[in-house]
Amino acid sequence: MTALTTYNPTLSIHPDREQLGQRAGQHAAATLRTTLQDNPEVRLMLAAAPSQEATLKALVRERGIDWSRVTCFHMDDYLSLDPDAPQGFGNWLERKFFSHLPEATFHRINPTRPAEEEALRYGNLMGSDPFDLVLLGLGVNGHLAFNDPPADFADPLPARVINLDPVSRQQQVDEGLFASFDDVPERAITVTIPRLLAAAEIIASVPGTAKRGAVADTLNQPISGDHPGTALRTHPCVTIYVDAESDPR
């Protein structure tokens, strides 16, 4: 059996959520500008969550990025919500990010289509080319996208239909996105961990006290699906941005 190659993510610590977002957004912009110098198109994978808002706001303000050459995807979305529900992750990204960047191409998951067919369609749409940059967060339970523990680090599919872990559903309530636990959908479509990690670079924005344990587990627990964030330690170019509240030291 081949030994697993592991790496140490860069931990970048900032006083508060806004400064975390500013630096992470600047970092993302620098990566996009550099990649665009040598390539006709770049591929950007995005998470949609309150933890990402400061980073995306900062990225929108950056100059020198030809967004007409940026093709974007997102890593998950709920099933069974109304098509225009504000909690839908595609809707959230349209509102918070792409409304400021109309020239960018955004390929959305369509949660109104039959779920298994849509997961297959979106997997095919992403294709096999690596992403140039992935912007993600960590769930309270360490999930990457909606790959809840125990996550499959060798999932053969690029996207799949999943049943949401109760911890993930409660997180959505705690973050003010839904009024009650029962309002949170039970199922979603998620991009799988191997597909997320097929990327040149990964930037994680992980603010807030509720995420401190997930950051500590990501950096210190044995690499396994019991702690999905530990998959980041199998990638050679990961930076995790935290604030004073999520600092695991």
Q: Would you say residue 248 lies in a domain?
A: no
User: Is the residue at 158 inside a domain?
Assistant: yes
Q: What is the rounded distance in angstroms from the CA atom of residue 74 to the CA atom of residue 50?
A: 15
* 249 in any annotated domain: no
Domain ranges, residue 111: 30-243
Phi, psi of 14 (to 5 degrees): -135, 155
Q: Is the pLDDT of residue 4 over 90?
A: no
Q: What is the pLDDT of residue 1?
A: 40
Q: Where are the beta strands (DSSP E) in the chain?
A: 10-14, 42-46, 70-74, 76-78, 105-107, 133-136, 159-163, 187-191, 202-206, 238-243
* Domain CATH code at residue 72: 3.40.50.1360
Q: What is the mean pLDDT of residues 74-81?
A: 96
Q: Is 25 inside any structural domain?
A: no
Distance CA 62, CA 227 (A): 34
Per-residue pLDDT band for 162 (boundaries 50, 70, 90) equals very high
Q: Is the pLDDT of residue 164 over 80?
A: yes
Q: Give tens-digit pLDDT for 192-241.
A: 999 999 999 999 999 999 999 999 999 999 999 999 999 999 999 999 99
| Structural domains counted in the chain | 1
What's the confidence (pLDDT) of residue 3? 67
Structural domain includes residue 218 = yes
Does the structure show a pLDDT above 90 at 55? yes
> Structure pTM?
0.97
Rounded CA-CA distance 50/220 in Å is 25
